[in-house]
Amino acid sequence: MTTELAIVNGTVFDPLNQTGGEKQDIFIRDGKIVNSVRRKARTINASGMVVMPGGVDIHSHIAGSKVNSGRLLRPEDHRKDVEPRTKHTLSGVGHSVPSTRTTGYRYTRMGYTTVFEPATPPLKTRHTHEELNATPIIDKACFPLLGNNWFVMEYLRDGKIEECAAYVAWMLKATKGYAIKIVDPGGVEVWGWGKFLRGLDDTVAHFDITPREIVRGLCKVNKILNLPHPIHVHTNNLGNPGNYLTTIETMDAVRDLDDGKKPIIHITHVQFTGFSGSSWLNLGSGAPEIADYINKHGHVSVDLGQVIFGDTTTMTADGPFQYFLHKLSGNKWVNVDVEAETGSGIVPFQYKRGNYVNAIQWGIGLELALLVKDPWRVFMTTDHPNGGPFTAYPKVIAWLMSSKAREKTMSKINRTAKKRLDLPGIDREYTLEEISTVTRAAPAKSLGLTNKGHLGVGADADVAIYDLDPSKRDLEQNPIAIRRAFKEAAYTIKDGMIMSKKGQITGTRLGRTFYVESTISSELESNLLKEINSKFKDYYTIEIDNYPIAESFLHNPSKISCKAEV
């Protein structure tokens, strides 16, 4: 059966196809964007509304063992936010750590159609896929954590780059993962002993390697494997005053590897590693310096990790940082280290407007977004739920688009913080075209998802229609209208089917789970397998046969193939 849909009279923002607010009709057939449809096709009249590709969230903690531990930790967070069962939806809960169905529905309501889980411990990735399988409607993927992996560190220590590349290729296949994720390289291994790593050039005990070498090594591996997305890095020293220097150092550590084609390193939730100052008392924003570096160097991309005032749950693979946050806040704390690979930590947290540090943090994210000139290299995230729940994205969009909205919030934040920030003096306002870039087009491009983030012929028919008429009035003067529009899309269309109308879920389907496979030479692969086989029993408490995840485990797999240089 042919399912056809026409979206007519809408104002289209499709930056990847150079459309920035023109009236354009969009045609859909069998889940794809096409050139035309029959006259009797179902038609949506998008007159007076904005049409964009479905949102692409490059970094959001929605599935896996640490997310589930977060849910377990916070029954009190669930009780205040419930979703009853309806005709098309199953029930659920959760303000900052929603249950899987609620996650899928809430993203869909906002017009988001693709969401990536950015940190999965390989040994427990089967769990991540089970949860992704149980997350309705949206397309998804996950990034395996490799920055504290024993095999990786040993290969890099021994200068065996090709073997390391072969191992990473095997890992991506074994975990059905999408990209190389690095969190606090070396630091989480050291935390396995309850200790902390100081800097990029500190040596990781027992492994004789430094964080800098890990980042550089994996950056080279990424290139060798021709992976679609650059290394995705959560730097060392997260949460420490003065850590903006670590961010710049990390970006600079791979500068010489740049080939000028596209970014080779992505620094995630850069707000958390954008602190200047030397203590909590003189904490400041390192955003201007970081933005300056990004503006001058094309090999880097970032996402914000914007702070939202309110109650949330922090969760990362950065075990040492999470312990530190527990001590600082006094809040309950979960920690789970994963043998030979990585770790995780979870701590509930409240960002308060009156708190000096939180207010500075709030400012850092926005300063970064407004000072970085290239909207193709700065993506909008809250590092859900670390900075705040993803349901707060409309607030962030309003802040980016409207200095009036920023001023209103700034009038309520800690006064000393406001004085220290550059933000009050920045009057740049994002246009809708820039918003569609940082929330859809750019993340899709960065991920190498050629059929996402745009509305050109052949793209997946993931479309969001927002009740916003840019021709009628100056949107920036009406941030409430912006928030309202992005909170509940007028229509969210996934693979050509209407899934949500004015905030009501009208259907359900199973989205795809993407994964990347990079083919290496069979000789390299067989040597690798011999080597892993001999060491696996020593490193892990499960058999190697039980480690790799079969494609059939993913309920709707979608492979992206690439060919390695080895």
Partner 1 sequence: MKQQTTSSVVCTVCGCCCDHLEVTVQDNKIINAKNACAMSSSKLLGYMNERLMQPMIRGKNGFSNCSYEKAIDVTARTLARSRSPLFYGWSLTSCEAIEVGVELAEETGGFIDNTTSTCHGPMILGVHEIGESSCTLGEIRHRADVVVYWGSNPVHAHPLHMSRYTVMSKGRFRRSRSERKMIVIDVRRTDTAKMADIFVQMEPNKDYELLSALRAAVRGDEIEQEEVAGVSVDRIEELAEIMINCEFGALFFGLGLTMSAGKNKNLDAALSLVRELNSKTKFVIMPMRGHFNVNGANNVMTWLTGYPYALDFTQGFPRYNPGETSAVDLLARSECDSSLVVASDPISNFPHQAASNLASIPLITIDPHTTPTTMCSDVVLPSAHVGIETGGTIYRMDGVVLETRTLVKPPKGVKSDVEILSAILRRLKSIRRLG
Per CB under 8 A, residues contacting partner 1 are 63, 65, 67-69, 71-76, 78, 82-85, 90-94, 97-101, 123-124, 126-127, 130-131, 134, 192-194, 206, 323, 326-327, 332-340, 343, 346-347, 538-546, 553
- Shortest CB 235 distance to partner 1, Å: 23
- Shortest CB 66 distance to partner 1, Å: 10
- Shortest CB 540 distance to partner 1, Å: 6
Select 310 or 553, whichever has its Cβ closest to partner 1: 553
Select 78 or 176, whichever has its Cβ closest to partner 1: 78
Select 235 or 316, whichever has its Cβ closest to partner 1: 316
Q: Which residues contact 1 (CB under 8 A, 6 or more apart)?
A: none
Backbone angles phi, psi at 4, to 5 degrees: -115, 145
CA distance 475 to 218: 43
Confirm if 9 and 490 have CB atoms less than 8 A apart. no
Strands 92-93 and 82-83: antiparallel
Select 171 or 490, whichever has its Cβ closest to partner 1: 171
Select 38 or 80, whichever has its Cβ closest to partner 1: 80
Q: Which residues contact 396 (CB under 8 A, 6 or more apart)?
A: 304, 306, 308, 380, 382
User: Taking the CA of residue 356 as centre, how many other CA atoms within 13 Å lie in the half-sphere pointing to its CB?
Assistant: 11
- Shortest CB 394 distance to partner 1, Å: 24
Q: Which residues contact 203 (CB under 8 A, 6 or more apart)?
A: 209, 210
CA distance 115 to 452: 11
Select 82 or 480, whichever has its Cβ closest to partner 1: 82
DSSP assigned state of 53 = E
Q: Residue 455 corresponds to which amino acid? A: L
- Shortest CB 71 distance to partner 1, Å: 5
Q: What is the 3-state secondary structure (H, E, C) of 376-423?
A: CCEECCCCCCCCCCHHHHHHHHHHHHCHHHHHHHHCCCCHHHHHHCCH
Select 319 or 453, whichever has its Cβ closest to partner 1: 319
Select 313 or 409, whichever has its Cβ closest to partner 1: 313
- Shortest CB 413 distance to partner 1, Å: 29
Select 8 or 336, whichever has its Cβ closest to partner 1: 336
The backbone region for 115, taken as left when phi is positive above 0, alpha when psi lies in -120 to 50, beta otherwise, is beta
Dihedral sign for Cα 23, 24, 25, 29, please. Answer: negative
- Shortest CB 177 distance to partner 1, Å: 15
At residue 99's C-alpha, the angle toward residues 94 and 104, to 5°, is: 105
- Shortest CB 201 distance to partner 1, Å: 24
Supply the Cα-derived Rg of the chain in whole angstroms.
22
- Shortest CB 114 distance to partner 1, Å: 20
